[in-house]
Chains A and B, each alone.
Chain A
Amino acid sequence: MDKRAAFRSWWLPSLFALPQIILILLFFYWPAVAVLRWAFTLEPPFGGAAEFVGLANFREVFADPLYWNSVGVSLAFALCGTLATIFIGLVLALAVDRQLPGSAPFRFLYILPYAIAGPAAGMAFRFILSPERGLMASVNASFPDFWNPAKYGSHALILVIVVFAWKWAGYTFIFLLAGLQSVPRSLIEAAAMDGCGPIRRAVDIQIPMLAPTLFFLLVIMMTEGFVGADTYGIVARTTDGGPNHGTDVMVYRIVEEAFRGLNYSGASAQSLVLIGLIMIFTFIQFRFIERQVHYK
């Protein structure tokens, strides 16, 4: 890990790292400390110093059914979104990896949705999957009320998951394709000699060999689904958390509660829960990467 020939100086590296360290201290650690402080204190309504209240903020958050609703929504969003993106990415990567004539352009095209910002994609999908126009209107014309994300929370949740999956499928595709290309060709050829067709090879050799990549993507996409910047943007611009809190994911609830409800203590308590969750995900991810290095 360490390089052998290193320069010896203590002030020069500090100088080099200083700009980034200052920005991190100002915009990451200082706010994080404030979150920590707010989570355990309560601001009196008519001013004055914040009062230490112990775990009261947490108790209040956990007693709120809407909080548990947002946990459930986030879980459903992250889990369905992750599974959908990984499934689409895997199937497409397996297809493109066969390198049949004419498959090169597809490899280029599948990545394009990843360039689009979540909120912009969300707004376009408001039209594409709108109940009154776009693609679903004709279905709704024959089966009234078959699809209405403005009315049913479950439909709205499906809508935001579709936007998420659309954007991130190309991302998982890239990683899975890279993973497939590192599967030794000799293994695949040996299987072919033994009479395995492409589908059998995919199921019995390629997918098991992809296990580390799949696991890695599972962790990355779950993190993205829970706290990704896109998750907030997609929900804010597609459904606004509604209808009736049907798409009220955890990050959306935190930002809303802080800026619209001005409930800093409650929002901070929720933030701490989420930070704990991210820590677990990050820990798993790095443990796994160490294992993978050991593997090779």
Chain B
Amino acid sequence: MIQRTPFANALTYGVMIFGFLLLIGPFVVIVSGASQTFQQVNSIPFSFLPQDRLLENMSAAWTRASLGTAMLNSFVMASLVTVGKVALSALTAFAIVFFRTPLKGFFFWMVFITLMLPLEVRVVPTYAVAADLFQPVRLLISAVTGFEVSVDWNLLNSYAGLTLPLIATATGTFLYRQFYLTLPDELAEAARMDGSGPIRFFIDMLLPLSRTNMLALTTIMFVYGWNQYLWPLLMVTDPQYKTTMMSLVALLPSDNGTPDWNVTLAGSLIIMLPPLVVVAVLQRWFVRGLVATEK
């Protein structure tokens, strides 16, 4: 647009730089704090200049909070949650969109209502189910037949416990549903005319077509899985299954100990890095997934 607006342009640049300081500034503080010595990080005023001790601090944090196991566990958990969510949402949306069945609406509303039941408000009973997975089944059987069955399976301290309760997803299902609805009707028609059944149609046509969709969903769900805090906290008591969000506590300087915030910051930097890399590298898909899931 050809219009000379020197004042507004200066203001625009000012706003953008201010936004940069506001949103990226904390990263700068974290990185420079993490690269300083114990004395430097506690100095007043704080120096924004990065020093050369980043790797030392990171390895100190790594051993202090045993980040090796935690990073591995978080990675496994985030990957399983991602794969599970993508697979289940593709399947459920397929059932909702491409079939003429009276159960369609039922499935849709079943999934929809989960939006109104966040983990925080049903945390105790969900924990109870995870601690005794067959409790509902047992109660049902004894209510219907009068028999007491004793099957026990608890999910505490296991990858299944970390991931299964988080895999059901309304947003993912709706994202896929939205995508399927944009496909032309002729596609399924042509597939049917050529004699393909629904399963073949799903594998040979829908899956390849939904590649972009899948990538978008994968990025947001990986970040979601990695950043889970409350659920792992309840599920895991065994240090072997600790996730990174749980090691945050171990990184904090103790109340009466030395305030070595340089190590704390270095540790939190390590924990922040994987989702940050995903968002930075795959930003196009991440943004697409974000905007699409909310529609």
CB atoms of B8 and A197 under 8 A apart: yes
A123-B248 contact given A20-B92, A135-B29, A267-B124, CB 8 Å threshold? yes
Which B residues are CB-close (under 8 A) to A9? 99, 101, 198
A229-B120 contact given A7-B98, A112-B23, CB 8 Å threshold? yes
A124 interface hit (Cβ, 8 Å): yes
Q: Which of A1, A120, A228, A278 contacts B271 (CB 8 A)?
A: A120
CA distance A216 to B291 in the complex (A): 12
B73 interface hit (Cβ, 8 Å): no
Which B residues are CB-close (under 8 A) to A42? none
CB atoms of B268 and A120 under 8 A apart: yes
CB atoms of B188 and A171 under 8 A apart: no
In the complex, what's the smallest C-beta–C-beta distance from A264 to chain B, in angstroms? 6
Identify which of residues 186-216 in chain B touch chain A, using a CB-to-CB cut-off of 8 Å.
186, 188-189, 192, 197-199, 201
CB atoms of B261 and A35 under 8 A apart: no
Measured CB to CB, the nearest residue on chain B to A271 is B121
A133-B19 contact given A95-B12, A227-B121, CB 8 Å threshold? no
Q: Which of A7, A12, A91 contacts B15 (CB 8 A)?
A: A91
Q: Which of B26, B180, B197 contacts A124 (CB 8 A)?
A: B26
CB atoms of B283 and A111 under 8 A apart: yes
CA distance A127 to B44 in the complex (A): 13
CB atoms of B265 and A32 under 8 A apart: no
Q: Which of B3, B95, B185, B188 contacts A16 (CB 8 A)?
A: B95
CA distance A288 to B286 in the complex (A): 25
CB atoms of A133 and B121 under 8 A apart: no
Measured CB to CB, the nearest residue on chain B to A289 is B295
CB atoms of B99 and A112 under 8 A apart: no
Measured CB to CB, the nearest residue on chain B to A133 is B42
CA distance A117 to B130 in the complex (A): 24
B278 interface hit (Cβ, 8 Å): yes
B37 interface hit (Cβ, 8 Å): no
Which B residues are CB-close (under 8 A) to A17? 91-92, 95-96, 103, 107
**Binding site secondary structure of chain B:** helix
Which A residues are CB-close (under 8 A) to B114? 24, 28
In the complex, what's the smallest C-beta–C-beta distance from B283 to chain A, in angstroms? 6
CA distance A137 to B47 in the complex (A): 12
CA distance A48 to B99 in the complex (A): 48
B150 interface hit (Cβ, 8 Å): no
CB atoms of A133 and B44 under 8 A apart: yes
How many of chain A's residues have a CB under 8 angstroms from any CB in B? 104
**Binding site secondary structure of chain A:** helix
Q: Indicate with 1 or 0, residue by residue over A90-125, a CB within 8 angstroms of chain B CB atoms.
A: 011011101010110010111111111111110111
CB atoms of A1 and B88 under 8 A apart: no
CB atoms of A116 and B275 under 8 A apart: yes
B83 interface hit (Cβ, 8 Å): no
Which B residues are CB-close (under 8 A) to A113? 23, 26-27
CA distance A254 to B98 in the complex (A): 41
A243 interface hit (Cβ, 8 Å): no
CB atoms of A27 and B168 under 8 A apart: yes
Q: Which of B41, B100, B126, B249 contacts A7 (CB 8 A)?
A: B100
Measured CB to CB, the nearest residue on chain A to B11 is A199
CA distance A4 to B94 in the complex (A): 14
Identify which of residues 50-90 in chain A touch chain B, using a CB-to-CB cut-off of 8 Å.
88
Measured CB to CB, the nearest residue on chain B to A113 is B23
B97 interface hit (Cβ, 8 Å): yes
B151 interface hit (Cβ, 8 Å): no
B147 interface hit (Cβ, 8 Å): no
Q: Which of A112, A126, A251 contacts B27 (CB 8 A)?
A: A112
B125 interface hit (Cβ, 8 Å): yes
Q: Indicate with 1 or 0, residue by residue over A117-148, a CB within 8 angstroms of chain B CB atoms.
A: 11111011111100011110110010000000
In the complex, what's the smallest C-beta–C-beta distance from A189 to chain B, in angstroms? 6
CA distance A232 to B33 in the complex (A): 26
B228 interface hit (Cβ, 8 Å): yes
A92-B5 contact given A16-B91, A124-B265, A254-B120, CB 8 Å threshold? no
B24 interface hit (Cβ, 8 Å): yes
Identify the 9 closest CB pairs spanning chains A and B, nearest first.
A117-B227, A34-B125, A31-B125, A13-B95, A115-B279, A271-B121, A13-B99, A16-B95, A233-B229
Interface residues of B (CB under 8 A from A): 1, 3, 5, 8-9, 11-13, 15-16, 19-20, 22-24, 26-27, 29-30, 33, 41-46, 88-89, 91-92, 94-104, 107, 110-111, 113-126, 128-130, 133, 136, 164-165, 167-169, 173, 180-181, 185-186, 188-189, 192, 197-199, 201, 223, 226-230, 234, 245, 248-249, 251-252, 259, 261, 264-265, 268, 271-272, 275-276, 278-280, 283, 286-287, 290-291, 294-295
